[in-house]
Chains A and B, each alone.
Chain A
Amino acid sequence: MSKILDARGLSCPAPVLMVKKALDDASETTLNDEYLNEITIIVDNEASMENVSRFLTSRGFNVEVLSEGSDFKIVGKADATVQSASSEQTTSHRNSPATVPENSPSSIADAKQQKIVIFIATDRMGFGDDELGKKLMTSFIKTIKEMGDELWRLVFVNNGVKLTIEGSSVLEDLIEYERGGLKIMVCGTCLTHFNLLDAKRVGETTNMLDIVTAMQLADKVIKI
């Protein structure tokens, strides 16, 4: 499904919120052919053009901007990963009885495989001896690949973000997991707090909304 929004005459942050609402509404839908895979927004000022482009990029769209007279036409095209993200969201809505398409093949496929989020809020495992705790954490990270495809997201918050920075003993492993398609989410507020934004070497910097959404969509959340 594609959609065109006219945000001319609106100033910030109204155009961004308009696009956000359109994306949120689209992800509520249960019908496959209504996935929003292309969205066009027309704005009449440069500030809105930059903000809307940035918002679409942050939501995983490929963005192209066309200049039309004094207006800007922003075309966002969903790439493959966004499509899968929106189908994940739709899956969660299928749990509500009123909207379950009983014989949808994708829901049967989804049911076979669970989605596991591992939420890591520390750089060492357990309490007691810190040296031991760090060794255990290294071993844990190296071993989680045994979960296979069911491991869906790794979320790093608080001291956990220190596992994603330069010099981390598991950096190589995490980079390899990410290359293999595992999504690694690293708390931006935490990186900022520790002044480590520049030191992060793996995963994408994320916010609490995305973390909460990941928890909601997961079948199982494991907290370390």
Chain B
Amino acid sequence: MCGLPFPVDENVLIGIGTSDDAGVYKISEELALIQTVDFFTPIVDDPFDFGRIAAANALSDVYAMGGLPKTAMNLVAFPLQKLGGEILREVLSGGIEKLKESGTVLLGGHSIEDDEFKYGLSVTGFVHPQKILANQGLQPGDCLILTKPLGTGIINTAIKGGLASQSTIEMAVKVMATLNKYAAEVMTHFPVTACTDITGFGLLGHIAEMISGTDTGITIYSRLVPVLPETIEFASMGLVPSGAHRNRNFRKDMVNLKSNITPVMRDILFDPQTSGGLLIGCPEKQSQNLIKRLIDNGVEQAATIGQVYGEKADQDIRGIITVE
């Protein structure tokens, strides 16, 4: 999108220029609007589950900005002749279930006929202009906390290939349909320095966005990163989505993999996630307490997975993600 003549407005607090999760527009000194949109083709067979996942995914961007979702609109492209109205009804019901859980109202939407089914939502939320959580802002010594396990891209690839077991599908659906609301509720009570949600660029791709263009250096401890069951087995079989390879090529200059990182683990760390967890930066002093509160609030797989280098870090590890 570089070079296009975007309109300028001084009330745009976060716009298209940074790689943030959503746009933010200031209405007053106390109130700013968060806007985001996301839609995709079905990733699971069950229409109700697909609806829940698409809605959880669209809502996530608002939570990642530190805001509360308020209103939403459906976006539907649907082959009515081929699939029939009942399936669409199921999908939309799944979406509505998640909107209700998040306290968001559906104001309407737009649908078109299309050979390929796509569903998603545009979501609008509120945030106090002083409490926006951007991607960038990590401070020396901060801990990085991840709130959902990785592996949904690899498991979705195995589902496409008909190789995933029912229990693995259920586990992945549960993780993808879980709202980041519960993590966000806890996060707002802590001095969080930066936050994003893990989606298409994979864990390392999104961490790269958090430090891109800065001299912040980070270590990720792969053994601490929670991973969904069977992800390692599927990745060992080569069931890795092409997005993982693209993510890796795109960020290879920013990532230093230590020799203990296997190609399988590397691909998991770059695996594009659907409705992934939040990645939260917070001072080390508060991180233990944050994890405890997250787990108490039902975010059971929350884990500290890495740390920002201190102020005295060597020059050659600045702007780099070291994975060990």
Contact = CB atoms under 8 A, between A and B. Distances in A.
Contact of B238 (A46, A51, A189, A205): A51
B245 interface: yes
B191 interface: no
Interface residues of B, number: 25
B295 interface: no
Contact of B242 (A11, A20, A58): A11
B44 interface: no
Which one of A11, A13, A58 has the highest number of Cβ atoms from chain B below 10 Å of its Cβ?
A13
A17 interface: yes
A51 B241 CA distance: 9
Interface string B233-250: 100111111101110010
Contacts of A17: 161
A119 interface: no
A45 B242 contact: yes
B262 to A, nearest CB: 10
Contacts of B229: 189, 192-193
Contacts of B240: 12-13, 47, 50-51, 54
B236 A47 contact: no
Contact of B239 (A13, A46, A192, A198): A13
Given A192-B227, A198-B223, A16 B233 contact: no
Interface in A159-209: 188-189, 192-193, 195, 197-198, 205-209
B237 A48 contact: no
A189 B230 contact: yes
Contact of A54 (B158, B230, B236): B236
Given A12-B157, A13-B157, A50 B230 contact: no
A117 interface: no
Contact of B160 (A13, A20, A188, A206): A13
B233 to A, nearest CB: 4
A48 B232 contact: no
A62 to B, nearest CB: 16
A189 B229 CA distance: 6
Contacts of B11: none
Nearest to B163: A209
A195 B227 CA distance: 11
Given A13-B157, A48-B242, A189-B229, A58 B237 contact: yes
Given A47-B245, A50-B245, A189-B229, A58 B239 contact: no
Contacts of B245: 46-47, 50
Given A55-B239, A58-B238, A197-B232, 12 more contacts: A12-B242, A13-B241, A16-B238, A17-B161, A20-B161, A48-B242, A50-B245, A54-B236, A54-B238, A54-B264, A188-B232, A188-B233
Interface of A: 11-13, 16-17, 20, 45-48, 50-55, 58, 188-189, 192-193, 195, 197-198, 205-209
Interface of B: 157-158, 160-161, 163, 165, 223, 227, 229-230, 232-233, 236-242, 244-246, 249, 263-264
15 contacts: A13-B158, A13-B160, A16-B161, A20-B161, A47-B244, A50-B238, A50-B240, A54-B236, A189-B230, A192-B229, A198-B223, A205-B236, A207-B233, A208-B165, A209-B163
